[in-house]
Structure 1
Amino acid sequence: MSARHDMDVERELWNTYAESTKRDVLDGEPVFRWTQYAGHGPGVELLGEPRSALEVGCGTGRAVALLAQRGVRAVGVDLSPAMVDRVAGRWRHTGARFVCGGVLDHLRDCAETYDAIYSIFGAVWFTDPVRLLPLIAKRLNPGGVLVFSHPPAIPGAYGPQGMYKGGFAGKAMFTYRYSYTPRKWLGLLGRSGFGQAEAEVLDAPEAGHIGTLVVRATVG
């Protein structure tokens, strides 16, 4: 199966997700949080004080909009044309900019650099880090930071994992996610041009619930 075919399948998958996103999610105010729990964990301060920032796999664009409201040159890239069309209109008044495209193609072809690149349950979770992380390092300004979050790996289920979306009947829509231990992420970052890095799993606010892996790394 060709890479282009895989991209088309993923685009359809994320378009389906975009079309199922409830209107009240976009009607809410801009918000920036790394975990899946409202009012929990660190916030935008993990990015430092960037003048420019890029979110890879920006989804609803609410984090991009918040940064733009604070005067940051904020850009979001997402594979879904349906999602980008929705969020570009919703957050136009904030000055945020949204680009439709695959994250690898965008990072490879764009000429812009950023003080911060980040992903909140986004493209870093769904893209081969061996290909993605070196491209991110090249698009960061000296001293720039990469921060990303996603659910921690299920114990014993590490590495790339295929997953179907939208049920198990009808047209097959699939993607891949990349789940690693904090130690493995640190090794991947070190080999991709990053210097200081830290990774930890934040416990959920309620015992027994799923935590959140948060990773932060800087380039020299």
Structure 2
Amino acid sequence: MPRESTTLPEYWDSYKPYREEGEQPTPDVEAFAWTQYDGHGPGEEFLGSPRTALELGCAEGKEAVYLARTGVAVTALDFSTAQVARARRWWDGTPGLTFVQAEACGYLATTEATYDAVFSIWGALWFTDPDDLVPLIAKRLSPGGTLAFSQAEPLEGYYGPQPMYGNGLAGRKLTLLRWSYPPQWWADLLKRTGFVDIDARVLPAPRPTDVGTLMVRARAPK
């Protein structure tokens, strides 16, 4: 069985919390962002021109909403029941947008749907064993379809699954795993899985001394 990112979905239920969220207005969706810095890096064009897309780890769903508003049929998946419930409250009725509560590997192993694009923005591609997840993604991509994802650049020399306490150093133990690898490792895995046109690199931060963003894109063979 694939190793899930946490022992419980509790961590993800509290990810990006909003105080008194029932009284908060629905947030604006002004851009499709891949990096941790506002206005930095590519936008939705990094995905190409898909007609259908699957997001793995959508959280509040802002990028999925942005993409759906351009006419793409988007399935937005998250492991957290709380995240999906909030996203549905905010974006219910958005044409072409469907939210699904599921673990990424479990969903991909059981769905019969295929997608022109599968993407993850600091999501499931960071928090799920890529040896399990990437082959499942390959099976659900349409011929010529795009896989694209982003996450923090790895710490040099510290690669592989990295455990940490998901809720800091106080309170209940929530074990969180993140899989961090350099660009060449990702390129090798994608090539072994049958992907082509692979582009894996670190996009430097606006200030060179800050943490960069790992950007990966590849295409399923036609």
TM-aligned CA distance change 1:70 to 1:175, over 3 Å:
same
Indicate conservation of the 8 Å contact 1:60/1:87, yes or no: yes
Contact 2:52/2:117 (<8 A) preserved: yes
Count of matched residue positions in the alignment of Structure 1 and Structure 2: 217
Which runs of structure 2 are paired with 1:97-108 in the superposition (5 Å)? 97-108=98-109
- Aligned match of 1:15: 13
Whether the 8 Å CA contact 2:122–2:150 is kept in 1: the answer is: yes
Gaps of 5+ in 1: none
Whole-angstrom CA distance in 2 between matches of 1:34 and 1:213: 10
Q: Which residue of structure 1 lines up, in the alignment, with residue 73 of structure 2?
A: 73
Distance 1:25 1:146 in 2: 32
Question: Percent identity at matched positions?
Answer: 45
- AA aligned to 2:101 is C
Whether the 8 Å contact between 1:26 and 1:87 is mirrored in structure 2 is no
Match of 1:32 in 2: 32
- Give the C-alpha shift of residue 75 in structure 1: 0.8
Cα distance between partner residues in 1 of 2:32 and 2:58: 12
Q: Which shows bigger deviation, 177-186 or 166-175?
A: 166-175
Counting only pairs closer than 5 Å after superposition, residues 7-156 of structure 1 correspond to structure 2 as: 9-17=7-15, 20-21=17-18, 23=21, 26-29=26-29, 31-95=31-95, 96-156=97-157
Name the CA distance, whole Å, in 1 between partners of 2:116 and 2:13: 29
- Letter of the aligned partner of 2:170 in structure 1? A
* Counterpart-to-counterpart distance in 1, 2:152 and 2:11: 20
- Residues 1:27 and 1:11: Cα distance change in structure 2 (over 3 Å): same
Residue 134 of structure 1 aligns to a residue whose secondary structure is helix
2:5·2:127 contact (CA, 8 Å) conserved in 1? Answer: no
Q: In structure 2, the residue corresponding to 1:17 is in which secondary structure? A: coil
Instruction: Write the distance in 2 (CA, Å) between the matches of 1:9 and 1:82.
Output: 16
Q: Is the deviation greater in 164-173 or in 22-31?
A: 22-31
Distance between the aligned counterparts of 1:201 and 1:21, measured in 2? 31
Residue 177 of structure 1 aligns to a residue whose secondary structure is strand
> Quick check: 2:55–2:64 contact (8 Å CA) kept in 1?
yes
Pair 1:105–1:26, CA change in 2 (3 A): farther
Report the AA paired with residue 130 of structure 1. D
CA distance in 1, matches of 2:181, 2:27: 34
Write the letter of the residue equivalent to 1:15.
D
Partner Cα separation in structure 1 for residue 163 and residue 58 of structure 2: 21
TM-score by length of structure 1 reads 0.92
1:8 deviates by 7.2
Structure-1 separation of matches of 2:78 and 2:25: 17
* Equivalent residues of 2:2, 2:129 under 8 A apart: no
Q: Residue 197 of structure 1 contacts residue 217 of structure 1 at CA under 8 Å; is this kept in 2?
A: yes
- Partners of 2:208 and 2:25 in 1: how far apart? 26
* Equivalent-residue separation in structure 2 for 1:30 and 1:118 (angstroms): 19
- The answer as to whether partners of 1:58 and 1:122 remain within 8 angstroms in 2 is yes
Structure-2 change in CA distance of 1:206 and 1:25 (3 Å): farther
Q: Which residue of 1 aligns with 2:211?
A: 210
Over aligned residue pairs, what C-alpha RMSD do you find? 1.9
